[in-house]
Structure 1
Amino acid sequence: MSGCVFCGIVAGEVPAFRVVDEPDGVAFLDTRPVFKGHVLVVPRAHLVTLDELPADALPGYFRLVQRLAVAVETGLGAGGTFVAMNNRVSQSVAHLHTHVVPRTKGDGLRGFFWPRTRYTDDAEAHRYADRIAGASPATG
């Protein structure tokens, strides 16, 4: 898509520090990493949100994300990874992308991304669970 920086990276028109380039997607270093080694994984096609990713592309894309999570840990000697995706809100580039961020114990990331809250009681939690379950498309 014209004007999309991630499409430009996928096409090789925008420079990036590529980690993986294969049919299921492209992975490259984030230019403003949370921690050094923060990788972005994007599908080759221009899609904005997760719901636009075709069902037949899900296994390959998420296998790639999984492989990158292991590679970030192994390659950087990280204690773990934080894997996240924003859909619309806080999505700095309107192209589906998954963050794979290296983590180490005591890295200070706790509470960095969002505040936490609690349900008033179990009944409120059940109401939220029911609303989500009722809106979830059937699998088949």
Structure 2
Amino acid sequence: MTDANCIFCRIARGEIPCAKVYEDEYVLAFLDLAPVHPGHTLVIPKTHHKDMLEIPAGLGSAVFAAIQKVAAAVLEATGAQGFNVMQNNRLAAGQTVFHIHWHIIPRFEGDGLEMWAQGKYADGAAMQQMAAKVAACL
């Protein structure tokens, strides 16, 4: 399944060029056009799935295997001391291309990149209430 207008589907079909770093039967990885740091790579399934709620579980294992391979290569190529794997779902979470994708971002000690501010629960009871609420929705 592909989407004729989706930019990542078009890249996967070869209609739009990319700086490809990895490809297999199910997955394509290429450099991000607006990298956080050089080597910032996107990993996408070749089939169109909007977000984590739509991707088939079986495809997830192929994507995860590709992320492992590509992340190791990014570390080696950039000399980074670490990396983040980021994945956003829906507009409110920062998703801008609605074809599921993972960012592999090389990280360096003292690079100044802050991921998010941390909050906290009012107390242990509030935390347990939220856990129960989430569990009830499963």
TM-score, with structure 2 as normaliser: 0.91
Number of the residue aligned with 1:58: 60
- For structure 1, the 5+ residue unaligned runs are none
Q: CA deviation at 1:135?
A: 2.1
8 Å CA contact 1:24–1:64 kept in 2: the answer is no
- For structure 2, the 5+ residue unaligned runs are none
Q: Which segments of structure 1 move beyond 3 Å, counting only runs of 4 or more?
A: none
Identity %: 39
Matches within 5 A, 1:2-81: 2-81=4-83
Across the two proteins, how many residue pairs are aligned to each other? 134
8 Å CA contact 1:37–1:72 kept in 2: the answer is yes
Number of the residue aligned with 1:93: 97
- Residues in 1 aligned to 2:72 and 2:133: alpha-carbon distance in whole angstroms: 34
**CA RMSD of superposed structures (Å):** 1.2
